[in-house]
Amino acid sequence: MQTQEVEIVNPTGLHTRPGNMFVKKAKEYTSAVTLVKGDKRVNAKSLLTLMKAGISLGDKVIIEAEGPDEIEAVQGLSSLIASLTE
């Protein structure tokens, strides 16, 4: 399992459009991808569960991936979060 903590820099957090972009990217990987915010663990490949986590600007989340492309998944999703500025 690969993990990485990242800080949300997007002013709207991971809601609606940026959340959808994140989920779409997560679905590109075969590994299971989970996003952890505090005591909440959500499936990063589901927009509905991602929205329920309420991830906002300044929140620190952990991206976890487990599977054959886990390293690429964590790196790719971390880069995406850093680039979201909408």
List 2, 4, 12, 15, catalytic entry: 15
pTM of the model: 0.94
The pLDDT tens digits for 23-60 are 999 999 999 999 999 999 999 999 999 999 999 999 99
Query: 15 catalytic, yes or no?
Result: yes
Domain map of the chain by residue range? 2-83
Give the distance, in angstroms, between the CA of residue 68 and the centroid of all CA atoms in the same chain. 18
The CATH superfamily label for domain 2-83 reads HPr-like (3.30.1340.10)
